[in-house]
Amino acid sequence: MSVRQDTAPQLGGNLNCNGFSVSSLTLGNTMNGNAQSISNVKNLGVGVSANPTMGVYVAGTYSGGITARGLFFQPSFGTDVTNPICMNGGGAMTSGGSTANNAYTYRADDWTTNGVTISNLHGFYCANLAGGTNNYAFRSLVNRNVGAGTNYNLYFEGNAPSYMSGNLLIGTTTIPSGVVSNLILGDTVDISLGTGAGTKVGASSSQKLGFWGATPTTQYSTTGTTTGFSAGTGTAVLSGSTFTGNTGTSAYTISDLVAALKKSGIIAQ
């Protein structure tokens, strides 16, 4: 039995295989459709056989340009769409009594480089956003959990350093004019510290610190300052008298203490 080959076959309705399956289907480079769907397909392979544990499995070698993409979404939205979403994630577990240890809406795994040197590998990369009045590279609405568990808006478990070149705001969205790369705390925002070993502000005497706009300075250590002394009335005080505070060996005059407080900005000049 022979079947005449049609070089331009067209389907005007549904394709019913009557209990059989199509083992191979070549769609060419494009598949055009308007409000069409692929129904009852749980696993789809693009460039590779479908994987039963993956909804969409994309593999293969992509070339032909400096920038190549495994998946690329660039839809156009009508003016009647007030909340356009380019790509949306989330899932639903089937009912049952088992426990899922880890669920990932979006997950970035390491690459297999096959000997190729990648200069900069990004788990998530956001280009400069400027199209909106307010632009957010990442926005989270996760609230504090008042139950047994704990919720985090950001949780970094690795011990690699974190880098920020802009301001870090806590408890406020107001940025003082001209301020860049600062830690800015809002009103009523306190700094809570541990009750065990404690916290150091300035881990060594060579690190500089300043208060209330004073130029940061290293730890003040000059002793024996007597200049700047003015005698007043009442009980006499010697300008050269020194005090150790009954701790350590460094003995300071009162002028030493005043100079240290002034230079660090704790009291006014």
pLDDT tens digit sequence for 128-182: 999 999 999 999 999 998 888 899 999 999 999 999 999 999 999 999 999 999 9
| Residue-level pLDDT at 99 | 84
Task: Give the count of beta carbons closer than 10 Å to the beta carbon of residue 43.
Answer: 13
Phi, psi of 255 (to 5 degrees): -65, -35
Helix or strand (DSSP H, E) at 258: helix 254-264
Segment 234-263 mean pLDDT: 89
CA-CA-CA-CA torsion sign (116, 122, 124, 127): negative
| Residue-level pLDDT at 41 | 80
Which structure tokens are listed for 94?
A: 């089937």
Residue with tokens 């979404």: 73
Asked which of 6-10, 145-149, 159-163, 210-214 is least confident by mean pLDDT, the reply is 6-10
106 residue type, one letter: Y
Q: How confident is the model at residue 252 (pLDDT cuts 50, 70, 90)?
A: very high
Bridging pattern class, strands 56-58 and 168-170: unpaired
Q: What is the mean pLDDT of the chain?
A: 87
Which structure tokens are listed for 100?
A: 């899922």
Count Cα neighbours of 152 within 13 Å in the Cβ-side half-sphere. Answer: 4
| Residue-level pLDDT at 228 | 86
Residue pair 57/43 in contact (Cβ under 8 Å)? The answer is: yes
What predicted TM-score, i.e. pTM, was given to this entire model? 0.74
Count Cα neighbours of 84 within 13 Å in the Cβ-side half-sphere. Answer: 11
